[in-house]
Structure 1
């Protein structure tokens, strides 16, 4: 009988423990588990929203990059066109300047040639006068004549 009474007391204590647990312990645990499940669900929903927002942001960034690349390509093309125009203008200006400088140089050369001719004419005239004067002062002798002419040649 001891065994039956012990068993009955143990069953009675177990039922009291189960009742206490169900009434006082289980509701806070269940509440905590429900709260935790809700937080996890909210976190998963936020993660899904974040993932979709991230995908939208990636699409927007890709579109902006594409637009930026297009604009950069257009700017580069415009810059290249402008550079080509500037080069052509510079070539035209350089050709005009070269023609002007060449014409000026030709005119300067022609002027210098004329001056040199005048100077040479004057020098030849002076030498001719000197030569004639030397010839006239000296006796007319073939040797002296030749000597004077060679001296004149050296002076020229």
Structure 2
């Protein structure tokens, strides 16, 4: 019986020693490791959310850039059409001016030719 009591006392002393001196540092180490794991998981989740947000922002900026490019191209095409119309109008105006000058020159030459013909007819008469 003494052996059983001694073993029970040794076991109780071992349990007390373990609970008093071994268990707290072991629990602190486990809690520290749990916190590291939780922090790592949280950081991973935050990184995933940041990546998704960056992807959305990139997609939005790309759509915005495409829209802006469309506006720039539309503006350039409009300006191109306007410049073409202006050039056509200027060419028409220049052609009309040249045509009017040519008609005036022809009218003057016809008038001179008639005058010269009258003088010749008068000289013959």
2:87 matched residue in structure 1: 105
Separation in 2 of the partners of 1:43 and 1:117? 108
Q: Distance in 2 between matches of 1:53 and 1:59?
A: 10
Deviant stretches of 4+, over 4 Å: 38-41, 123-137
Aligned to 2:28: 46
If the length of structure 1 is used for normalisation, what is the TM-score? 0.51
1:77 equivalent in alignment to 2:59: yes
2:77 match: secondary structure:
helix
| 1:118 aligned partner | 100
In the comparison of the two structures, how many residue pairs are matched? 102
Matched, 1:86 2:68: yes
- 1:111-147, CA deviations, whole angstroms, 9 ceiling, x for partnerless residues? 011112223334455566678889999xxxxxxxxxx
**Structure ID, larger Rg:** 1
Normalization by structure 2: what TM-score? 0.62
Alpha carbon RMSD of aligned pairs, Å? Answer: 3.3
1:50 positional shift: 1.3
1:135-146 counterparts in 2 under 5 A? Answer: none
The gaps in structure 2 that reach 5 residues or longer are 1-19, 120-125
Deviations 1:49-101 (A, max 9, x none): 11110100000000000001011111111111111122222222222222222
